[in-house]
Chains A and B, each alone.
Chain A
């Protein structure tokens, strides 16, 4: 039981490049989330999904896209990388309903130069 797995752990992108951050969970959780963490700013919700085929915007969605074709996977897409997207990205999942505990992955440290 691996929990929430994120890849890659580190990545350097040039301005204007695109990439996909991968996230997969093996707990059969309905809810999945993408957060970004910036120093002194806490975790900001980018996008979330309540189940396969359903996604919605969080607090800071601009510059990102997501899809949820399966229960297990929730990739985050950056189309035109900008320096403002330099951050640590965390994927999380929760069962939903009355079970609200969120389980986080190890994070992806992204630098845009």
Chain B
């Protein structure tokens, strides 16, 4: 049972373009939705996160859009740069349990 479904598996974007990664969840008890960024040979690191009481959160070039009724959320990377090339994971957490459940990951390549 995959509680958090992520797509696409891989993504190629030209420099300056918009990268969009989508996630869907099943458990309505989830109340925290982070995105993690992982560079080769490193552990994942928190990029941006949202709680379901807001529909959008923006930090610099990174934006999370959240649709509670559809149980979907997405990461938008504006003006994508080669340095953004990494694997991105969406995740979900149920309050009080602190167990992060991860999506399968999206490998992003930004070409110059």
**A and B interact physically:** yes
Of the listed stretches A12-20, A40-48, A71-79, chain B binds: A40-48
For the complex, would chain A's binding face be called helix, strand, loop or mixed by DSSP majority? Answer: strand
Given A40-B9, A105-B43, A106-B43 in contact, is the A31-B104 Cβ separation under 8 Å? Answer: no
Residues from chain B with Cβ under 8 Å of A62 in the complex? none
Residues from chain A with Cβ under 8 Å of B80 in the complex? none
Say whether B34 contacts A43, CB under 8 Å. no
Interface residues of A (CB under 8 A from B): 4, 31, 33, 35, 40-45, 48, 50, 58-59, 90, 92, 94, 96, 100-107
Interface residues of B (CB under 8 A from A): 6, 9, 32, 34, 41-46, 49, 89, 93, 98-105
Name the one of A45, A58, A90 contacting B44, with C-beta atoms under 8 angstroms. Answer: A90
Min C-beta distance of B96 to chain A, whole Å: 9
Name the one of B42, B45, B98 contacting A94, with C-beta atoms under 8 angstroms. Answer: B98
Can you report 23 residue pairs joining A to B where beta carbons are below 8 Å apart? A4-B43, A33-B99, A33-B100, A40-B9, A40-B104, A42-B89, A42-B102, A43-B44, A44-B102, A45-B101, A48-B99, A50-B98, A59-B101, A90-B43, A90-B44, A92-B43, A92-B100, A100-B34, A100-B98, A100-B100, A102-B46, A103-B45, A106-B43
